[in-house]
Amino acid sequence: MNTERLDATFAALADPTRRAIVARLARGEASVLELAEPFAMSQPAISKHIKVLERAGLIARSRDAQRRPCRLVVAPLREATDWLERYREMWEARFQKLDNLLEELKEKENRHVRKTR
Amino acid sequence: MSEKRGSGKLEITLPSDTEILMTRVFAAPRRLVFEAMTKAEYVRRWWCCMEGFTMTVCEIDLRVGGRYRYVTVGPHGEMAFNGVYHEIVPPERIVHSEFFEPHPDGLMVTMTLEERDGKTYYRSLLRAVSKEQRDGVIASGMESGADLALDHLEDVARSLDPAHRAAGASPVAIARG
């Protein structure tokens, strides 16, 4: 696990605007102008967010075209979500056992209620 | 009820650089969820979530200023957690510290249970002292998750063994078994 890269990924994704940009790019590449559209933000402000995402290696920009569209680089994103997903799986495994225990406690209570009625 | 348990999957988000937020629905009244989460005899039943691990210590002194300590033993040794209860409002709220031994920095955990239509909405906010610590907590899940993944890989490797294939076993079937 490359922790430095993970740090950069998490830091870049800590901002809601940048998460929205990533979500938009997940649907396909877009120019800075197109990315700025849904936000009440100036183009330089959006460009700043894009630079953060670019430095974190989450997006890449093609050099050739005039509009220089941005596209998503999937690998670091996947690494970051895998990381959190494993932690989630560990707790979910616990909670599934807890579900079973709760079913048992509910049944026990129901039996008790029936008996005392 | 169409779904037997009717409980949702656990969701985990990172609301800030130093926090982890867990939310989940349990298909039981919160009185029972609270009991299952605070009585040692019950915690023993669910805290230890992986094959090959056993819970050797589960002590709970449920009062403000009281301590708890959980120890599990697995293939790579012992894992111990402890903490102190700061606030207890049965059956709806507990605030406690959490230390992963022997690390000196702890987390502050605020757990709340809300009941609606017989279901319990669980919410647990973990606050770390730094982003590094927060990430370390998540990485602990990575390690245990990696153990599970390795176990599975072993099954797959075994299924690819020529001896098994000669017996006519399908690799996929063995990997699932």
Please write the tens of the pLDDT for every residue from B77-98: 788 999 999 999 999 999 999 9
Distance of alpha carbon B138 from alpha carbon A19, whole angstroms: 20
Alpha carbon distances (Å) from B80 to A16, A114, B106, B123, B166: 36, 41, 13, 23, 45
User: Does the beta-carbon distance from B46 to A92 stay under 8 Å?
Assistant: no
Cβ B63 vs Cβ B2: under 8 Å: no
pTM over 0.80: no
Cβ B61 vs Cβ B68: under 8 Å: yes
User: Does the beta-carbon distance from A14 to B16 stay under 8 Å?
Assistant: yes
User: Does the beta-carbon distance from B148 to A89 stay under 8 Å?
Assistant: yes
Percent of the residues in chain A that have a pLDDT greater than 70, as a whole number:
90
Whether B170 shows a pLDDT value over 70: the answer reads no
Q: SS3 for A8?
A: helix
Q: Is A1 exposed, middle or buried (0-12, 13-18, 19+ CB in 10 A)?
A: exposed
Which of A5, A10, A101 best probes binding to B when mutated, by most B CB atoms within 10 angstroms? A101
Cis preceding-peptide flag for B75 (omega within 30 of 0): no
Q: Note the pLDDT tens digit of each residue in A43-84.
A: 899 999 999 999 988 899 887 667 788 988 877 777 766 778
Cα angle value A107/A111/A113 (rounded, 5°): 115
Q: Provide the Cα torsion B125, B128, B132, B135; round to 10°.
A: -20
pLDDT at A86: 79
